[in-house]
Amino acid sequence: MSGFLILSDVELAGLGITTAEVLTALEEAIAAQARGAVQVAPKSAVLPGDGRYVMTTLATGDAPDLTVVKSVMVSPRNPSRGLPGVEGVVLVQDSETGEMLALMQAGWLTGVRTAGLSAVAARRLADPAAETITFVGTGAQARSHLAAFCDLFPLRRAVLVGRGAGNLERLGALARARGLEVEIASTPQAALAAADIVVSSVTLAYGMEPFLDARWLKPGAFAAITDAGVPWRAKGMAALAPLYIDDQAQEAENSRPMVEPALVSGDLASLVTGPALARDPAARAGFVFRGMAIGDFAIAALALDRAREARVGTLADWRPRPGSDPA
């Protein structure tokens, strides 16, 4: 196929990719990175100081032969413009030739990738009989986690903590459609105390005052902390044991650690490729992450394969370059 595919979030969401397929793709990619078949750069981020958060990820591999770059911006003023608060794009190239293979909107991919990474950790750290899930933050990430975790656990109740009425209503409706009872929490502490599983996905704002405390979790609970731990009190993080992060090599390059390094039990690669973990039913467990390029690589590759099979997307091509022979 000559040219490259342009794929919207709507088209990507319509590919019918399942949670099981996402987890398989992620675990295979993490294992490939561990054995050196895929190389990644640490996630880079810029905070312009006006509430925006701009980040990029980069991964390249030879099986599949892809280079994947993602650029995402969080803009707190976008909702007032009638735009999503998070917007981004994913570029997929042939890792040998550099040829463009696809240009994808980043919303669907980021949501599925993030929920998938949480689920990879949760399958090893959470109670397999978990019934109550608490969401702190009720936006797009909460919705993607709801879908993934309902596929993995026998959930019966969702407890919601959020500020936006629209997001609360939308997440509540989705949870009810999945057969869950829905409760709006009176306080964050009550919400955490009730949960078997917690998902925190608060919009990143490094100046915020932390308002969550891991010591509020009951024994045996699991927290998927997708917001780099920013809304969590540092003094309470020792209550999470074991505590895993996404990528220890990436974290070592970051000047702002998510948690005290001495508290970290390992990273996602050690969970996936290491010996099976014996779960302690009395221990509070946590997975804290800021995002990792291998996740974007895995889901972009999966989506591109499925889009090609289904003949979905708009095929485009560059015009002949100046001085090149169109023939």
pLDDT given for residue 324 in this prediction: 61
pLDDT given for residue 99 in this prediction: 94
pLDDT given for residue 205 in this prediction: 67
Residue 209 burial by CB count (10 A; 0-12/13-18/19+): exposed, middle or buried? exposed
What phi and psi values does residue 14 have, to the nearest 5 degrees? -85, 5
pLDDT given for residue 237 in this prediction: 98
Same fold, 4-109+293-316 and 127-288: no
Residue 182 burial by CB count (10 A; 0-12/13-18/19+): exposed, middle or buried? middle
Residue 96 and residue 281 in contact, taking contact as beta carbons nearer than 8 Å: no
What's at 311, amino acid-wise? R
pLDDT given for residue 299 in this prediction: 98
pLDDT given for residue 145 in this prediction: 98
Residue 194 and residue 113 in contact, taking contact as beta carbons nearer than 8 Å: no
pLDDT given for residue 322 in this prediction: 65
Distance CA 2, CA 301 (A): 17
DSSP string for residues in 53-92: EEEEEEEEESSS-EEEEEEEEE-TTTGGGTS-SEEEEEEE
Specify the residue for token string 């508290």: 263
Distance CA 7, CA 9 (A): 7
pLDDT given for residue 38 in this prediction: 97
Name the residue ranges covered by the structural domains of the chain. Answer: 4-109+293-316, 127-288
Distance CA 301, CA 309 (A): 12
Distance CA 169, CA 179 (A): 15
Say which residues have a Cβ less than 8 Å from residue 201's Cβ, sequence separation at least 6. Answer: 114, 135, 136, 137, 139, 141, 142, 145, 226, 227
User: DSSP assignment, residue 215?
Assistant: G
pTM: 0.93
| CATH-assigned architecture of domain 127-288 | 3-Layer(aba) Sandwich (3.40)
Distance CA 116, CA 273 (A): 17
SS3 323: coil
Distance CA 18, CA 150 (A): 12
Distance CA 268, CA 17 (A): 22
Cβ count within 10 A of residue 35: 8
Q: How far is CA 304 from the centre of its chain?
A: 18
What phi and psi values does residue 119 have, to the nearest 5 degrees? -70, -35
pLDDT given for residue 321 in this prediction: 65
Residue 12 and residue 105 in contact, taking contact as beta carbons nearer than 8 Å: yes
pLDDT given for residue 80 in this prediction: 87
pLDDT given for residue 292 in this prediction: 92
| Mean pLDDT for back-to-back runs of 10 residues, the chain (327 residues) | 91 98 98 95 87 92 94 88 89 96 96 97 98 96 97 98 92 98 96 97 80 98 96 97 95 89 96 93 96 96 98 90 59
User: In the structure encoding, which two tokens stand for residue 180, read together?
Assistant: 């869950």
| Gap between the terminal Cα atoms of the chain | 17
pLDDT given for residue 169 in this prediction: 96
Q: At what angle do helices 293-310 and 107-125 cross, to 10 degrees?
A: 120
| CATH-assigned architecture of domain 4-109+293-316 | 2-Layer Sandwich (3.30)
Residue 217 and residue 192 in contact, taking contact as beta carbons nearer than 8 Å: yes
